[in-house]
Every structure is written in C-alpha cells, then in structure tokens.
Amino acid sequence: MIIALAGGVGAARFLEGLVKVLDPKDLTVVVNTGDDLYLHGLYISPDLDTIMYNLAGIAHKTRGWGIQDDTYYCLSMLEQYGNEPWFKIGDKDFATHIVRTHLLRRGVQLAEITRLLCNLLEIEVTVFPMTNKKVNTRVVTEEEGILDFQDYFVRYQKSTTVKDVYFEGIKDAKPPRGLLDAINSAKGAIICPSNPIVSIQPILKVAGILPALKELPVVGISPIVGGAPIKGPADKLMQAFNIEVSPHGIAKYYANFLNTLIIDTVDAAFQSQIEELDIHAVATNTIMKTLDDKIDLAKKTMQELDKLL
C-alpha cells in the first residue's frame, strides 16, 4: 500500500493519474482539513471535496475544484437574501456540505463521514481527513489582521501581505482511528504537489504522523515550477517563512524526511543543489494539462518510489 499526503487542486490532479497507475485499493490518501470552514450554517471541507470529486471523476474539468456542469441557483438566491457570494458553491456541491453537516450534528466523526461519501461516490481509494478535530489555518496579514485561510485565499490574497501562519487547535489534533496503522503498514509515501505551508504542514503537525512517515521511503513532487506555484498562494506563504520559492526551497523544507524530489524540467538546474541536501532530484514534466500528463507523472513517481523499496 502507498500513502499520499494531499491538499488542493495540484494533488487532486496528480491523484487522478495515480489511480490509473496503481490499484486504487492500494492507495490511502491523507487530506488537509486546516482550511475547513463553516459557511451558510454548513461545514465545508474544500480539500476533501476537491480530492473526492476528482477521484470520482466528477470534478470541474478546467478549474479542478467544484463539480462539472453544476448550477448556482442556491447561491444566487442566497445573494438575493443579502449574503455575499464570495465563496462559490454549486447546487450539487451544497448537497455534499448538507449531508456532511447533518451527520456531524448527529455525532458522526469526519473520517467516518468521508468514508461514507467516498463509498457513495464509488471511490475505491481510502481517503482520510488528517484529523477528526477542527483545526483552523490562520493567516496573519499586514493589512487585514488574522484571517481564516479561505478568507485570505479567496477574498484578500492579492491585497494582503502575509506575516505568519499558524494552526489553531493543532496541538490537540490526533489522527483518525486507523490512519497511523495505515501509514505503519505502507511500503512508501508520496508528497503530492501541494502547498507546503498550508496543505502539507498541517498534516505533518498532527500527532504521530511525521514520526511514522520518517520510517518510510518518501518521494515528493515540487509544486513550484519556474519560480512560481502552478496554482495558489504558495509563493507568498513561503516568502513569509523566508523559504526560497524554488524546488530547492521545497527540498530544504522537507529535508528531514524526503528521499527523492521530482521537479519540472525547467528547474533542472536545481538538481545539484538538491542532491547536496542528500535528496535525490529527478527532472521531468510536472505540469498536468491532460490525463496523459497526470498518468506520466504518476508513473515517474512510482518508478522513483520503487527504486527506494
């Protein structure tokens, strides 16, 4: 079995290719929940939903998040009632949030709800939230003060300067039942091309996950290509922590557990610097525009992981 740590559209696209290379039943995905939020009275898990929709083959084909051919009648009516529609939720997407919130209010744990939703969407991959406990990613900004991650990312990103990021509630967060057993029984791990600060770091901070991961061979894929992220604010967040916005910066950030880093061919010049960190660097195409691109990157990742086994 393979463990993958994931968050965001980049991870979802990669996993779409990985399940074409690997038996889905041999894959367990641990998903960031630090940017979960309550909105319109509903509990929303953006990263879990993005991963689920892509694995189910129903995600929006160009955006990578939301559901393909969804409609927005509910959001339009909410706007008419005076609600600001800053967070775009489709009608089918609302159904996911309604079911999840209803079950949470009945006392069902997030991991169990995720398992149920995946079964109903006919997803064969095992998907875990990183914890059942509510963890809030807080972004400290110069102009707007402390923001929830989605407020920062969707509302204010372009107009704010990031000073710090912290994870409220992370000290009390424990892995869901069965997750550490899954990591301990895995033959290797993959760090998906996700934001290192707000997607991967929260997962690693959940009690027990990083020590378990250190016992495995680990291959990561750099989310930085040509000095910038393919999608999202990873560059701004990395700069706030004085992390070089490059594959070398990613390698240094993961240096205490990473064995191999896959980087894009445009960044091949960083290979020698990464190798100096005692991390093997492999250059290939990491930009996933087509399903073939996703499959090719997944094949390369598994080839590199197999070399470590």
**End position of a domain, from candidates 110, 144, 167:** 167
**Section 21-40 average pLDDT:** 97
Q: Which DSSP string corresponds to 151-212?
A: IIIIIIGGG--EEEEEEETGGG--PPTTHHHHHHH-SEEEE-S--IIIIIHHHHHSTTHHHH
The most confident of 62-71, 136-145, 227-236, 296-305, by mean pLDDT? 296-305
Q: Are residues 54 and 144 in the same domain?
A: no
Query: Is residue 61 domain-shared with residue 149, that is, in the same domain?
Result: no
Domain count, the chain: 2
The domain containing residue 246 runs over which residues? Answer: 2-134+171-308
In this structure, are 158 and 264 located in the same domain? no
From the list 9, 40, 4, the residue with the least C-alpha distance to 19 is: 4
Question: Which of the listed residues 119, 151, 167 is the one where a domain comes to its end?
Answer: 167
**Do residue 117 and residue 187 come from a single domain?**
yes
| Confidence (pLDDT) at 230 | 87
Residues 106-158 have pLDDT tens digits of: 999 999 999 999 999 999 999 999 999 999 999 999 989 999 999 898 888 66
pLDDT band at residue 231, thresholds of 50, 70 and 90?
confident
285 and 156 part of one domain:
no
Q: Are residues 156 and 195 in the same domain?
A: no
Q: Tell me, what's the pLDDT at 157?
A: 66
Checking 286-292 for CB contacts under 8 A at 24+ apart, the result is 286/193, 286/221, 286/222, 286/225, 286/262, 287/225, 287/230, 288/10, 288/13, 288/14, 288/17, 291/16, 291/17, 291/20
203 and 157: one domain? no
Q: Which residues contact 269 (CB under 8 A, 6 or more apart)?
A: none
Task: Please indicate, yes or no, whether residues 160 and 15 belong to a single structural domain of this protein.
Answer: no
| CATH classification at residue 204 | 3.40.50.10680
Same domain, 42 and 59: yes
Residues 81 and 230 in one domain: yes
Same domain for 78 and 202, yes or no, is yes
Question: Do both 147 and 109 map to the same domain?
Answer: no
